[in-house]
Amino acid sequence: MKELYALIGQPLGHSFSATYFNDKFAREGIDACYQLWPLKSISELPGMITVHPNLKGFNVTIPYKREVMEYLNEVSDDAREAGAVNCVKVEQQSDAIRLRGFNTDIIGFSTALCEFINVAELPDLKVLVLGSGGAASAVCIALKRLGTEFLIVSRNKQTAAKSIDSNRVIEYSELTPQLIDEHRLIINTTPLGMTPEINVAPPFPWQYLSEKHYFFDLIYNPSKTLAMRIAEAHGAKVCNGLKMLYSQADAAWKIWQDESSAI
């Protein structure tokens, strides 16, 4: 039987993952197929797994990255630390099914960042992370491991601190020219500027950016967000989220293929 992979989430419109994996299977002659499973509730997951005995793995997107954890037999250290699972390996055993959860956004982001900025320069760069959601958690874990100092910029310190490192959260109103001068890498983890609402940008005082700044936007659609265009106009070097997207998908594929996977 054809191997099966899937994406769970709600809603699922156009999916990068489905196109990416189905193109890969066609190109590399892999007898497999990647399907979209828009689940109205995460409680539908066990039933879907039972009726698809050829399922080898699935990706998880909004809003189930956290909720899916209670359905898993095992969660990797990375996923536990991030509080989010975006990749699940399904191990069909003789009389049971074992589900193992991973977070590939951390490795995806690290890989993309190290391609954008020289690794040797990273520990000297202080970072401002805009937003405090699931993607921000993955970014912060990667930054800690790379030895980079960072602050999280949120609309609301109290709510952000519940889900993320509370000592490091500031609000947009606390951003000063001096703080921005000291923090040379700005990372957007908010969805602001993403298709279809492409004419918005995070409420950041972009005028204080200069040639010494880097701006990394996790958004990949459009390929150049309004925030990237503004940052570039002030001299900053910019990068979108496409490399991160490919890297996290490649990491998922490795997990699904490797019997002893541990990320």
**How far from the centroid of its chain's Cα atoms is residue 19's Cα?**
18
65 classed as catalytic: yes
Asked whether position 76 contacts ligand NAP by CB under 6 A, the answer is no
- Indicate the residue among 148 and 190 with the shorter CB distance to ligand NAP: 190
Interface of this chain with ligand NAP, residues 23 to 62, rule: CB under 6 A = 62
Q: How far apart are CA 14 and CA 180, in angstroms?
A: 36
Cα 51 to Cα 44, 55, 101, 143, distances in angstroms: 11, 9, 20, 40
- Indicate the residue among 15 and 190 with the shorter CB distance to ligand NAP: 190
Asked whether position 131 contacts ligand NAP by CB under 6 A, the answer is yes
Q: Which position among 40, 65, 243, 254 bears the catalytic label?
A: 65
Q: How far apart are CA 155 and CA 55, in angstroms?
A: 40
Asked whether position 241 contacts ligand NAP by CB under 6 A, the answer is yes
- Indicate the residue among 132 and 148 with the shorter CB distance to ligand NAP: 132
**Interacting residue with ligand NAP among 7, 135, 142, 226 (CB under 6 A):** 135
Asked whether position 187 contacts ligand NAP by CB under 6 A, the answer is no
Q: How far apart are CA 138 and CA 130, in angstroms?
A: 13
DSSP 208: G
Check: CB of residue 187 under 8 Å from CB of residue 128. yes
- Indicate the residue among 72 and 245 with the shorter CB distance to ligand NAP: 245
Q: How far apart are CA 112 and CA 108, in angstroms?
A: 6
Residues within the interface to ligand NAP (CB under 6 A): 62, 105, 108, 131-136, 154-156, 159-160, 189-192, 194, 202, 218-220, 241, 244-245, 248
